[in-house]
Chains A and B, each alone.
Chain A
Amino acid sequence: MTAAATTTPRRPWGLVAASLAAVALAAIPVVHLIVRVASADPAELTAVFERPRIPLLVGNSVLLAASVTATAVALGVPSAFLLARARLRWRGMWAVLAALPLAMPSYLAAYGWLAWQPSMRGFWAAWLVLSFVSVPYVTLPVAAALRIGSTGLDDVARTLGRGPLGSFMLGTWPQIRPAVLAGALLVCLYTLSDFGGVALFRFPVLTTAIQQAYSASFSRDEAAVLAVILVSLALLVVVGEQFARGRAARRIQAAPSVGRRRMTRLGPWTVPAVGLLVLVPAVAVVVPVAVLLGRVLTAETLQAFEFAELGTALANTVLLSAGGAVVAVLLALPIGILAARHRGRLVRGIESAGYLALGLPGIVVGLSLVFFSLSVVPALYQTALVLAFGYGVLFMPKAIGSIRSATGQVPVSLEDVSRTLGNSRARTWWAVTARLARPGIFAAALLAAVSAMKELPATLMLRPTGTDTLATELWQRTDISAYGAAAPYAVALLLVAAVPAFLLSDARAGREATREAIA
């Protein structure tokens, strides 16, 4: 919260070195793309830019990313306020419901809606589904920030005659603004890189064109050029967020991070409030799941269903995504800590580079890691290790923000005390910072894990031959339109991804807040 106030002036070069190493690993896909584009036939590259469809694709990508991000913020911030600051019954349940859309892969949500409303297509359909599945990326961090922040300044503003909204904007908004920006960044990059949801609704964007370039022409150079355009857009978004966050950090230097927290009585607003909390999971999860289950009941032929196969895929999904989450956290830790404690161009550059992989579709990251692992560690190619590493690279950006804010909330004074008592920097970090930041680090791992569980294209590229995950089994069946046979896998994927989503919902914090509200 008080990021600027907790900045220490000296820059620990060990941490910088570790961050640079993490960035170097995470930047493999981008470097691979640049090398490929640089070595391609220039005539072929210019031909890509001459395609009349390119402005449409770029425009659509930007339009979709901007509108989905705006919608996710517009729905996520009020939801977070209700979860953290309103007197509501069944707080834990609402918290879980709010996190549930995280478990929903965009392709599954899109498929469910399409099975119900076949005429859905184009921008509005893609906007609806992507917006609602990504609301938790905003809700969760903002609710966490609201639970920590205080309403002291709001109260001062109220006594000075401001209305409820005005005092919120003066008192609370500055405290949650970094969390809102971090969530918006994730939503924006996720939308730019998503393929499944947009493809099903036939909304042409850069990712669908990249997929097409791989699909039919086998022209990997052309796909690389399109991916470079996409990653440039992602870079603009990341830099924009940093700029906005930097200004916010300066402005909130004096904001109190501890103090009284007042719970708001909803009164006549209870019904619309509950409506909002129901709407998001209903659109993102309940409708598609209900339609999918309906398809199972009406399917004429159900292929023999093997529990053993489902069990193996489930175990693989859990193991691989856990491995991916550990890699993601290990890569994100030095970057997150550095970004929380230090300023400067170098730190900003490292952090930006850490985020870029999130703006790339899974197939691009997958192929670049195929090349990399074959060149550097051929013995590990097509092993679970490379796949887990791939997940780590893909989802490390999702871990950075959570680690950065968790570390930022640990008072530097505590670290100083530890250092004065003669503890080394590393020991201080482990005994003081890591201990206090643990919930945030754990949340980072959960976020990476839930993303890895849903990931399809990179999984198809990198998995060990013969190893199936829930996502690949689901693909196997939908690809031959055996939707009835696919449904058990869809449900299993949702259930297993709902576990980290449940843990992320911070139901415990919800219960504590309930006690406070009642007391």
Chain B
Amino acid sequence: MRAHRGLVLAGGLAATAIALSGCTASPGDDDTLTVYVGRAESLVGPLIEQFEEETGIQVEARYAATPELTALVLEEGDRTPAEVFLSQDAGALGALSDADLVTEIPADLADQIPAGFTSTDGSWVGVTGRARVLAYDSEQLTEDQVPSTVDDLTADEWGGQVAFAPGNASFQSFITALRVLEGEEAAAEWVAGMADNEPELTENNLASLDLVNTGQAQIGLINHYYWYRQAAEVGAGNMRAQLKFLPGDPGGIVNVTGAAILKGAADDADARAFVEFLISEQAQRYFVEETFEYPLLPGIDAPEGLPALESLVNPGLDLSDLHSVGESQRLLADNGLI
């Protein structure tokens, strides 16, 4: 009898689950704006609430990691319910653009973000900047012992001491920058040198930072804001890892998060309003205060304690050149890193 009741219960629950599906707004609904957000809800959710309050536009936000969401949109193709994609990195937006899934950002919006931090063809617009940095274990190293260029990391003394995430998009963007700035030969030499040096390979930036924080690795190649987020959780005074910025070095380039409007929403005023909001002064200040990223709208100060964005800009680098990430992956694959 007990099992029988259980089956009935399970059936009832299933029926409720099906009923539940009727309650959710159908995708592509006209009164709501569907936004795919490749970042955590706790970071972006409050900002979206501000947008809803101010404009009266209802947002259906779908949160997942940027790679998963990008794979999702590529699979959905032109049937995607997404109208705006807010990505954690420029590479994902480039992939959507390459698949011809996005529409051009109106010039009056795109032009507000300085060249170098946004797409060259208007396929997406930069929202915030993220600097590549070296995280180092402050119990094993002083700041001057930490190299000020990634070129030095292939030296024997760093054997087994460097952590990075070879499959991570930001890391691969850095490799691409290395290729663009120092040439294919130098980049290939660097990757081979690093592979020989038995690096600690991780799944993501956070894992690399954890290795440095626990003394498992002396140096980690990460994005700057991971440190600030973790410091907010455990207290800055408890951070064993410290950051060294690398102005002018390929290892210290500034990458961006950005937004794209999907093709199906080409004429959608709500989608435009949302992108406009993301690069408004209000949203830019929100990112500075809550996510510790660089604002890209001119005239807004960077988070406290960070070197000025201008000091990190790499004049030789056009972010749209980072599209050739496929070549970088081949390089990493040939050296057995991915």
Chains A and B bind each other = yes
Instruction: Give me the interface of A with B, judged by CB distance under 8 Å.
Output: 47, 51-53, 56, 114, 118-119, 121, 199-200, 202, 204, 208-209, 211-212, 214-220, 298-301, 303, 316, 318-320, 322-323, 325-327, 363, 367, 370-371, 374, 378-385, 388, 438-439, 441-442, 445, 449, 457, 460-461, 464-467, 472, 476-477, 479-485, 503, 508
Is A460 touching B68 in the complex (CB atoms < 8 A)?
yes
27 residue pairs from A and B, CB less than 8 Å apart: A51-B333, A52-B335, A53-B333, A53-B337, A119-B214, A199-B203, A202-B207, A209-B338, A212-B338, A217-B325, A218-B71, A220-B75, A299-B233, A301-B235, A319-B13, A323-B13, A367-B71, A380-B21, A381-B79, A382-B81, A384-B17, A460-B65, A461-B72, A466-B61, A466-B62, A476-B41, A480-B43
B40 touches A480 (CB 8 A): yes
Contact B169 A215 (CB under 8 A): yes
CA gap between A323 and B21 in the complex, in Å: 11
Q: Which residues of A contact B22 (CB under 8 A)?
A: 383
B226 located at the interface, meaning its Cβ lies under 8 Å from any Cβ of chain A in the complex: yes
Q: B334: CB under 8 A from chain A?
A: yes
Q: Which residues of B58-93 have CB atoms within 8 Å of chain A's CB atoms?
A: 60-65, 67-68, 70-72, 74-76, 79, 81, 91-92
A479-B65 contact, Cβ under 8 Å, with A371-B75, A379-B26, A461-B72: yes
On whether the beta carbons of A464 and B24 are closer than 8 Å, the reply is: yes
Query: Contact: B16 with A319, CB < 8 Å?
Result: yes
Measured CB to CB, the closest approach of chain A to B195, in angstroms, equals 10
Chain B residues closer than 8 Å to A508, beta-carbon distance: 2
Q: Are A384 and B79 in contact (CB under 8 A)?
A: no
On whether the beta carbons of B167 and A326 are closer than 8 Å, the reply is no
Residues of B at the A interface (CB closer than 8 Å) are 2-4, 6-7, 10-11, 13-14, 16-18, 20-22, 24-27, 34, 40-43, 60-65, 67-68, 70-72, 74-76, 79, 81, 91-92, 95, 166-169, 171-172, 200-203, 206-207, 210-211, 214-216, 226, 229-230, 232-235, 238, 325-326, 329-330, 333-338
Q: Given A202-B200, A465-B27, do A385 and B233 touch, yes or no (CB 8 Å)? A: no
Q: Separation in Å of the A46 CB from the closest CB of chain B?
A: 13
Do A481 and B230 touch (CB < 8 A)? yes
> Which B residues are in CB contact (< 8 Å) with A318?
13
Give complex CA distance A211, B204 in Å.
Answer: 12
A482 to B43, CA, bound (A): 11
Contact of A445 among B10, B95, B334 (CB under 8 A): B10
Q: Which residues of A contact B40 (CB under 8 A)?
A: 476-477, 479-480
| A465 and B207 form a contact (CB under 8 A) | no
| B201 and A204 form a contact (CB under 8 A) | yes
Among A323, A388, A442, A484, the most chain B Cβ lie within 10 Å of the Cβ of A323
Count of A-B residue pairs with CB < 8 Å: 204
> Of B17, B24, B338, which one neighbours A320 at CB under 8 angstroms?
B17
Cβ A482 vs Cβ B42 within 8 A: yes
Shortest C-beta distance, A385 to chain B (Å), equals: 5
Kindly state the separation between the CA atoms of A217 and B94 in the bound complex, as whole angstroms.
11
Nearest-Cβ distance from residue B335 to partner chain A, whole angstroms: 8
A280 to B18, CA, bound (A): 37
Q: For B13, what are the chain A residues with a Cβ–Cβ distance below 8 Å? A: 318-319, 322-323, 326
Given contacts A118-B214, A370-B72, A477-B42, contact A215 B81 (CB under 8 A): no
Whether A299 touches B234, Cβ cut-off 8 Å, given contacts A319-B16, A466-B62, A476-B63, is: yes
Tell me, in angstroms, the Cα distance from A46 to B92 when the chains sit together. 25
Partner of A442, one of B6, B74, B234: B6
Given contacts A319-B20, A445-B10, A480-B43, is CB(A381)–CB(B229) below 8 Å? no
Specify which chain A residues have a CB less than 8 angstroms from the CB of B70 in the assembled complex.
Answer: 218
Q: Which residue of A lies closest to B43 (CB)?
A: A480
B7 touches A381 (CB 8 A): no
Interchain CB contact under 8 A, B67 and A214: yes
Contact A384 B7 (CB under 8 A): no
B17–A319 touching, CB < 8 Å: yes
Partner of A323, one of B4, B17, B233, B337: B17
Do B214 and A370 touch (CB < 8 A)? no
Contact A441 B7 (CB under 8 A): yes
Closest residue of chain B to A319, judged by CB? B17
Closest to A446 in B: B6
User: Contacts A216-B329, A465-B62 known; A481 to B229 CB distance under 8 Å?
Assistant: yes
A445 pairs with B81, CB closer than 8 A: no
A114 to B213, alpha carbons, bound, how many Å?
13
Chain B contacts for A379, CB-based, 8 A: 26
* A200 CB contacts on chain B under 8 angstroms: 203, 207
Which of B17, B20, B70, B206 has the most chain A CB atoms inside 10 A of its CB? Answer: B17
A367-B72, A439-B3, A481-B206 given as contacts; is B42 within 8 A of A383 (CB)?
no
B168 touches A215 (CB 8 A): yes
Contact A388 B17 (CB under 8 A): yes
Interface centre among A114, A385, A484, A503 (most CB of B within 10 A): A385
The answer to whether A484 and B233 touch (CB under 8 A), given A216-B172, A220-B71, A323-B13, is yes
Residues of A within 8 A of B330 (CB): 47
Distance (whole angstroms) from the CB of A210 to the closest CB of chain B: 11
Q: Are A381 and B336 in contact (CB under 8 A)?
A: no
| Contact in complex: B21, A363 (CB < 8 Å) | no
A204 to B4, CA, bound (A): 44
Cβ of B4 to closest chain A Cβ, rounded Å: 6
Assess whether B14 is in contact with A301, with CB atoms less than 8 Å apart. Answer: no
With beta carbons under 8 angstroms apart, the residue of B2, B14, B68 that contacts A326 is B14
Contacts of B166 in A (CB 8 A): 212
Which B residues lie within 8 Å of A503 (CB)?
6
Contacts of B329 in A (CB 8 A): 216-217, 219
What CA separation (Å) do A326 and B17 show in the bound complex? Answer: 11
- B99 to chain A minimum Cβ distance, whole angstroms, is 9
A47 surroundings in chain B (CB, below 8 A): 330
Known: A300-B234, A326-B10. A215 touches B67 (CB 8 A): yes
Q: With both chains docked as a complex, state the minimum distance between the C-beta of B69 and any C-beta of chain A, in angstroms.
A: 8
What is the CB-to-nearest-CB distance from B323 to chain A, in angstroms, rounded to a whole number? 12
A147 to B199 alpha-carbon distance, docked (Å): 52
Closest to B211 in A: A118
Q: Contacts of A316 on B, CB cut-off 8 Å?
A: 20
Complex contacts, A217 vs chain B, CB 8 Å: 172, 325-326, 329
B18 touches A467 (CB 8 A): no
Least CB distance, A440 to chain B, in whole angstroms = 9
